[in-house]
Structure 1
Amino acid sequence: MKQFIFSLLILASLGSVAQVKLGLKLAPVVSANRAKNDAQTVENDGSQMKFSVGLIADQSLSDTYFLSTGLIYLPKRAAFRNADNTVEEEYKLQYLQIPVSLKLFTNEIAPDVKPYIQIGSGLEIKVFDEAEDPSYTTIEKFTPIDVPVILGAGIEYRAGINTTLFGGFSYQRGLVNTVNEAAAGFEDLQVRNTVLSIDIGLKF
């Protein structure tokens, strides 16, 4: 947590120098995953609501194009079961995400209200992993990074000279297999993350 706070302070300082628009984002997220193996005996094991928070920074490229980045704390899960339910495991994962995306704004649809769409990717660094039950032994080691595709849409409302409120949603599809090493019999196990996020925050 100290490293996360320190990184936020660094990003805020850089934002001040570069004259970017800084903001805070709070996001309820639904974390799920796509689990499979070659024999197709492994299945997904549901989804779970979590909570993400972080600092964002938007740099104007033109009146309608913005480069968006930030530093986001993003919790996820890896959960799977086999077809006959003799194996059912869940692991907690936590990442620091550095997203890089392009925000494209339309014209105002109401006074001070602009919709946007967002597309990009990013780098996620795993900072924590833990088995829900200490007896779980299938996944022995997790991959230290993930790279998601990020697609989103939302609306920004300029509430004042220096304050902008925003709300929207995003879909994040992890491209990297989070399983680095697995127990015998599960060497071909693949678990990739999927996150649906409701993005709420303000920029100042």
Structure 2
Amino acid sequence: MKRLFLSLAVLAASATAASAQVEIGIKISPAITSLRAESPSATAFASESSKLSFGGGLIVDYFFGENYAFSTGLFLTGKGGTISYNDKNPPYLPGTPQAGVRVNQKIATQYLEVPATIKLFTNELAPATRLYFQLGGSLAVPIATRINGEKFYQDPYDNNNETSASDHVFDIDINALLGAGVEYQLGRSTKALAGISYHRGLVDLDRYFEKTRGFTDVTIKNSVFALDLGMKF
């Protein structure tokens, strides 16, 4: 009986290996990125504007069926946007009333990102043309951050306290990913792809306002709408 189960397992593994196919390619992704910011009304954090970012990297699609693939890779992605919040005028200026002031802050971060998604492909809708739908998530690690275009930030409402911009952003970002697109067969093993994707950040990125400034219940998360253009070989 054990030999029978072992034989069946070997046959199943052989069949899976025979049907599996790996496709590797490259992708570039111009994107519109923004930050979703929330807090109590005293500080009233809000998203102000988005920014144009670029990303790109390696695609790896591992097919475990004709129309199904596990899709991953390694990408360099840009994220960020402009937020605003209420702050107080610094108390160390004589005669300055403690009225609130509205502050804008532009945050730009580069990430190394690894997606883990499932791609579902249709049959050919036109010669050599298939649609795909992508669903899953991604894990990203920040490698560079700028606040208002600078690597260091001097907070004018906290005695000009200077901090590294990288210290403002949490050490990891997790995203839900949803996308769709089209693949076109150019040759025996060459395919062109074009699609759109939405990446919704699930992790609160703030490591500054609550930790350093003492604000309460501040939440800042990433959002990305990307145009995905690539080639697989």
Aligned counterparts of 1:22 and 1:154: Cα–Cα separation in 2: 17
Question: Which amino acid is 2:131 matched to?
Answer: P
C-alpha distance in 1 between matches for 2:188 and 2:32: 34
Contact 1:89 1:136 in 2 (8 A): no
Where does residue 97 of structure 2 map in the other structure? none
Q: Match for 1:148: what amino acid?
A: N
Counterpart of 1:116, as a letter, is Y
Identity of paired residues, percent?
34
Indicate the SS of the match to 2:65: coil
Aligned to 2:208: 181
TM-score when scaled to structure 2?
A: 0.75
Check the 8 A contact 2:184/2:192 in 1, yes or no: yes
1:96-140 deviation per Cα after TM superposition (whole angstroms, max 9, x unaligned): 000010000111110110001000001101111121153347885
> Separation in 2 of the partners of 1:66 and 1:184?
46
Give the number of equivalent residue pairs.
187
Any conservation in 2 of the 1:163–1:203 contact (CA below 8 Å)?
yes
User: Is 1:74 aligned to residue 93 of structure 2?
Assistant: no
Q: SS at 1:114's partner residue?
A: strand
Q: Structure 2: 5+ residue runs without aligned partners?
A: 1-19, 87-99, 159-164
Q: TM-score, normalised by structure 1?
A: 0.85
Distance 1:177 1:78, change over 3 A: farther
Q: CA offsets per residue over residues 16-64 of structure 1, 9 Å max, x none?
A: xx96211000111101111011336111011011111100100011000
* Unaligned stretches of 5+ residues in structure 1: 1-17
Larger Rg: 2
1:201 aligns with 2:230: yes
Conservation of the 8 A alpha-carbon contact between 1:27 and 1:199: yes
Tell me the distance in 2 between the aligned counterparts of 1:176 and 1:163: 37
1:19-168 paired onto structure 2 within 5 Å = 20-39=22-41, 41-82=44-85, 86-132=102-148, 134-136=153-155, 141-168=168-195
Q: 1:57 to 1:37 in 2, by over 3 A?
A: same
Q: Which range moves more in the overlay, 101-110 or 138-147?
A: 138-147
Deviation for aligned residue 1:180: 2.1
Q: In structure 2, how many angstroms separate the alpha carbons of the residues matched to 1:74 and 1:125?
A: 10
CA RMSD of aligned residues (A): 2.0
